[in-house]
Amino acid sequence: MKLLVPKQGMLPKIKCNVGPVSWPQGCASAGLIFGLLVCGSSSEPTHAEASDKEGHKEEESCVKLSHGKKVYTDYSITGIPGDGRCLFRSVAHGACLRSGKPAPNESSQRELADDLRAKVADEFIKRREETEWFVEGDFDTYVSHIRKPHVWGGEPELFLASHVLQMPITVYMYDEDAGGLISIAEYGQEYGKENPIRVLYHGFGHYDALQMPRKKSDRSRL
């Protein structure tokens, strides 16, 4: 089932695909995460791959349907440090790959994430008339918090990041019943729908970088 956000201000550009997923507390009814959360995951950088079922061709097993939704089983995950920058790190990592650049190392990834965070905060100011109404609490306080490296922002920051980078961003979650990943939100599709920046949301305030399809030669450099 798809939930289209009401057409108001910047929100028509956000599309949420609502399914059997669990968003953190603080989500608004339209699916936007307005509350500020700290990305406190302690997961170490890892590389994971999904395996295809035996007896099926690879191109047939990488995408299947479950209750009318696409389920992706051919992907690789680049683990992102849980230092409060995971959302911005994941997006910056994906932007490098989409631009044809090498995957950044941990130090470069951190610099790119902090730069992206600063530009997203500036984009809030630039689009104040469009964004102030859906920010919870005082607008200036919200933007001030977003600038801090340990503070994680939700869907508004992902949406504004798509404008800053002028690239589409798609968020996925793992669906245990379906046995693969499903898309739960898309941003910035006015910049194109092919080969979006892909990030994996774990449901506990943590994001990792995601690549589809997986490349068997890929290994995380983090």
- Rounded to 5 degrees, φ, ψ at 113 are -65, -45
Question: What pTM, to 2 d.p., does this model score?
Answer: 0.74
Determine, yes or no, domain membership for 126.
yes
Answer whether 85's CB lies under 8 Å from 112's CB.
Answer: no
Among the ranges given (61-65, 97-101, 145-149, 159-163), the one the predictor scored with the smallest mean pLDDT: 61-65
The span from the CA of 119 to the CA of 77, in Å, is 26
Task: Evaluate whether residue 52 is within a structural domain.
Answer: no
- The pLDDT assigned to 215 comes to 65
What positions carry a catalytic annotation?
83, 86, 206
Structural domain that includes position 168: 82-189
The pLDDT value given to residue 45: 42
198 residue type, one letter: R
Does residue 129 lie in a domain region?
A: yes
Query: Is the pLDDT score of 179 beyond 50?
Result: yes
Residue 218 lies in a domain: no
**136 domain-assigned:** yes
Amino acid at 48: A
CB count, 10 Å around CB of 52? 15
Q: Is the pLDDT of residue 153 over 90?
A: no
CB atoms within 10 A of CB 20: 13
Q: What is the mean pLDDT of the chain?
A: 76
Q: What per-residue confidence (pLDDT) applies to 63?
A: 74
Work out whether the CA dihedral 54, 56, 57, 62 comes out positive or negative.
negative
Q: Between these two residues, 66 and 101, which has the higher pLDDT value?
A: 101
Q: What is the pLDDT of residues 118-144, one digit of tens each?
A: 999 999 999 999 889 888 899 999 999
Tell me, yes or no, whether 204 lies in a domain: no
Examine residue 172 and state whether it is found in any structural domain, yes or no.
yes
The domain total for the chain is 1
**pLDDT bucket at 2, cuts 50 / 70 / 90:** very low
For the chain, percent of residues with pLDDT exceeding 70: 68
Q: Which amino acid is at 60?
A: E
Residue 152 lies in a domain: yes
- Asked if the bond preceding 213 is cis, omega within 30° of 0, the reply is yes
With tokens 């970088």, the residue in question is 209
Q: For residue 153, give the CATH number of its domain.
A: 3.90.70.80
Q: What is the largest CA-CA distance in the chain?
A: 57
CA distances from 63 to 137, 177, 210 (A): 41, 15, 15
Q: What is the three-class DSSP state of 169? A: strand
Between 36 and 108, whose confidence is greater?
Answer: 108
